[in-house]
Structure 1
C-alpha cells in the first residue's frame, strides 16, 4: 500500500572521488503527497550516495517534512531512508518518526521505498504491506 510520495527538488551536489568509491552529498527540498499526509520537504534534506567500484551502491537520506495529516492537524515527519542501488534499481528501507498522533503507526510499520524519475525529477514512493486499517493501531495491530 502506498503511504507517501515525495517529489524531490535537487538544490546542489558536492562529491569526492577516491580510488575505491565516489561519494555524493545531494541537498534537496520538495513536496510530499499521499492519502495520509500532504506537505513540504523542508530545506536541509541531504541524500548521501556512495558508488563503489566493485559492489552495489548505497544511499542514506535524511529529511523533515512539514504539513497536514489526514485528520487536518499540522505535523512534522522525520524520514531516514537507507537503501541499495543495484542494476538500475533502488530499494530503500525508510525509518519514520512523527509528532502526529494519527500517523504514529508509521513509526513501527514495515516499509520500503522505490526511486523513479518522472520528467527529470526524482520521486520517492514509500509503501507498507499493511492494509489501511491494520496499520493505524501500530505494528501488528488489527485495529
Structure 2
C-alpha cells in the first residue's frame, strides 16, 4: 500500500456515505506507515478520509533517553486510548505533561500541539481517532 491512499482509505469518505458502505478492515489490511522524520513511529491506519482518521500508533522504547512522536497538532479534535503504556503527553505551549496509563483515554482539542513520549521499557500501543471534518 502507498501513501497516496491517505485521505481515502479504505474507501473515499463521501462515496462511502453516499452508498452507505460498511467496510471491515482487518489488522492485516491496515494502511501501515512509519510516520515522522526526526521521531519515527509506526502508524497503522484503519480509516483515513475527509471525516476522520483512526488507527493504532506504536512508539518504540528509547535508548539513552525517551522515544517520542513528532510534535504535531491536528485540525480536528483527537482522542487517544492507551492499550499498552504508560504514555506521557507533553503540551509545549503550557509546559504540561499528562501521564496516561493502560486502559485510559486522553482528549486533545483541535490545534493543540503535543508530543507523546515513551519513558518505559516496552513499546507504547495506542488507538486514536482524529475528526478533522466535524
Same fold (TM over 0.5): no
TM-score by length of 1: 0.34
Q: Which has the higher strand share?
A: 1
Of Structure 1 and Structure 2, which has the larger fraction of its residues in helix?
Answer: 2
